[in-house]
Amino acid sequence: MTQETNIAASAIRSGETYLGIEFGSTRIKAVLIDKAHTVLASGGHNWENRLEYGIWTYTLEDIFAGMQDAYAKLAANVQTQYGETLSRVGAMGVSAMMHGYMAFDNSGNLLAPFRTWRNTTTGEAADALSSLFQFNIPQRWSIAHLYQAMLAKEPHVSSISFLTTLSGYIHWRLTGEKVIGVGDGSGMFPVDSEHLCYDQAMVDAFQSLVEKDGYTWKLMDIMPRLLPAGASAGALTQEGAKLLDPSGALQSGIPFCPPEGDAGTGMVATNSVRQRTGNVSAGTSVFAMLVLERPLSRHYVEVDMVTTPAGDPVAMVHCNNCTSDIDAWIRLFGEAATALGAQYDERTLYRTMYQQALTGAPDGGGLMSYNYLSGEPITGMDEGRPLLIRKPDASFTLANVMRTHLTSACASLRIGMDILSAEQVELDAMTGHGGFFKAGEIGQSIMSAALGTPVTVMETAGEGGPWGMAVLAAYMHNAKEETLSDYLSNRVFQSAKSSTVSATEAEAAGFAAFMSGYQSCLSVERAAVQSLKD
């Protein structure tokens, strides 16, 4: 072994490591880091949501089988690389896609299928609560799902004992603690950033609806307790250790940091928790988060108000659709290449197709695309129908097709970002992460054109959320009185490598021209939704 490997093996043996596990939309990933926040090993498991009876969901079996597989692969990599059995870590934490609805009775039974962030079935409830609170409540938030179930008089509502998100559920199963990080909690119900609690006036307003409908539970009794980054959130129980690692090698008693949402871990992974910083996460969905210096002048349906893992207010523009339709087209091109006898790996296929977009016309060459596999609330679509449209005289080339798909992936985000620009929200830095940015600089240049600002991608962006979760575990274990923003700047990112790309004037003008067509053709997408019913 090299000296570096010996040092890493010693850290693993003594438990001077930190573990983060994140449940993304298409991949569950576990990452192990050392005290210098360097990745030692990782393991992953691919999974896909299911559309069952009109609901996007994952089963409990999907959740735990995927978690165990990702962890087992991590442990196997540790054994292979360092000759060590992973039996303990200094601290750990779990994160997951935000929002959604997981409701349980007092025996811990799931009362309804897990309803993920991707569902757009709560429009009536979201509108009513936004009006009641005078605060934007998006359709994917937990409280919107709960109120929609109340409006529909779903029988299970009367039996709810605990309501949480995916990260909160997994944390509960591993530690026995019904808590949630304030960042993830801010996607369940509006949060008071000053006092780091759910907004009391809005809690009282919702409780009046609960009592009016005759339910006996109290909202604050069924919601998880909010915890900021750095707080202790319990420890791995014996049952939790066996659930995570059925082999029995992993010891119980490992300290846990608060569970967080993927938005929060994305902020951590991009050093974007300080005021005037922002990050854009582009994968299955796309969202931009800007840490605010001051409140917005009013609430907007296109802008969510959430928080950093430390509880500071954040303006979030979230769009349900980003790379899924791109993935489908690239798979199609891959099938064509295979039929012609080509041999390639997936990474080469993706990089090649993304690079084609570099030579495409900045405005798409007369093509138009809507990547809506699911509904897109920011443009008023309750359902999605992927579309590629072209004029008869359009330049229908591979380069323009790819350019159009990549540009379309950022288009709905631009609509919400224009609102923040009008609110004069100022940024010192915008950092990108997610699959959209993994194939060279093309993703950065198109996103820069969409946002009207340079976009930086850090060397750590490839590890993303699970690495950010491991960093939050390290922060809880090591920080003492240091703020999260100072910890990240001083200890994690002090010498981080990054690249920054700014769109050219031609690219910015091309994106603006594409947006004009995108807005005017939304009626075509709406007609497709109405005409192509399941």
pLDDT higher for 281 or 61?
61
Contacts for 295-302: CB closer than 8 Å, 24+ residues apart: 296/423, 296/425, 297/423, 299/130, 299/134, 299/135, 299/136, 300/136, 300/416, 300/419, 301/130, 301/136, 301/377, 302/378, 302/415, 302/416, 302/419
Query: What is the DSSP track for 446-469?
Result: HHHHHHTS-EEEEGGGGTHHHHHH
The whole-number average pLDDT for the span 130-156 is: 96
Global confidence as pTM: 0.84
Name the DSSP letter for residue 258. Answer: P
- For β-strands 50-52 and 55-57, DSSP reports them as antiparallel
- Please give the mean pLDDT across all residues of the chain: 94
**pLDDT at position 463:** 63
Tokens (6 digits) for 345: 């790996």
Tokens (6 digits) for 494: 């002090």
Give the position of tokens 């900021």. Answer: 228
Contact 76, 42 (CB under 8 A): no
Where is average pLDDT lowest: 253-257, 274-278, 345-349, 530-534? 530-534
Q: Identify the burial level of 196 via C-beta atoms within 10 angstroms of its C-beta, where 0-12 means exposed, 13-18 middle and 19 or more buried.
A: middle
The whole-number average pLDDT for the span 258-279 is: 93
**pLDDT at position 497:** 85
**pLDDT, tens digit, 9 for 90 and up, residues 24-60:** 988 999 999 999 999 999 999 999 999 998 999 999 9
Q: What angle do CA 147, 178, 98 make, to 5 degrees?
A: 55
Distances (CA, A) of 174 to 57, 62, 167, 179, 253: 21, 16, 11, 12, 11
**pLDDT at position 118:** 86
Rounded distance, CA 195 to CA 178, Å? 20
Specify the 3-state DSSP secondary structure of 319: strand
Is residue 460 over pLDDT 70?
no
**pLDDT at position 435:** 84
- Strands (E) located in 331-490: 367-370, 387-390, 429-433, 455-458
Name the DSSP letter for residue 435. Answer: G
Tokens (6 digits) for 280: 């854009």
The 3-state DSSP composition of the chain as helix, strand, coil percent (nearest 5) reads: 45, 20, 35
Q: Identify the burial level of 136 via C-beta atoms within 10 angstroms of its C-beta, where 0-12 means exposed, 13-18 middle and 19 or more buried.
A: buried
**pLDDT at position 496:** 82
Is residue 135 over pLDDT 90?
yes
Please report how many Cα atoms fall inside a 13 Å half-sphere around the Cα of residue 421, on the Cβ side.
Answer: 10
18 forms beta bridges with 33, 91
Binned at pLDDT 50, 70 and 90, residue 462 comes out as: low
The whole-number average pLDDT for the span 275-290 is: 91
**pLDDT at position 498:** 87
Please report how many Cα atoms fall inside a 13 Å half-sphere around the Cα of residue 74, on the Cβ side.
Answer: 34
Query: What is the DSSP track for 170-236?
Result: HHHHHHS--EEEHHHHTTTS-EETTTTEE-HHHHHHHHHHHHHTT----HHHHSPEEE-TTS---B-
Is residue 384 over pLDDT 90?
yes
Give the position of tokens 């240049």. Answer: 445
Tokens (6 digits) for 130: 């936004």
**pLDDT at position 331:** 96
Name the DSSP letter for residue 304. Answer: E
**pLDDT at position 534:** 63
**pLDDT at position 533:** 81
The whole-number average pLDDT for the span 416-433 is: 90
Nearest alpha-carbon partner for 274 in 259, 298, 293, 256: 293
Question: Which region, left, alpha or beta, applies to residue 59 given φ > 0 means left and ψ of -120 to 50 means alpha?
Answer: beta
**pLDDT at position 468:** 94
Contacts of 499 (CB under 8 A, 6+ apart): 441, 444, 456, 457
Is residue 277 over pLDDT 60?
yes
Is residue 19 over pLDDT 60?
yes
Rounded distance, CA 42 to CA 453, Å? 33
- For β-strands 17-23 and 91-96, DSSP reports them as parallel
Is residue 178 over pLDDT 70?
yes
Name the DSSP letter for residue 294. Answer: S
92 forms beta bridges with 19, 256
Binned at pLDDT 50, 70 and 90, residue 461 comes out as: low
Binned at pLDDT 50, 70 and 90, residue 410 comes out as: very high
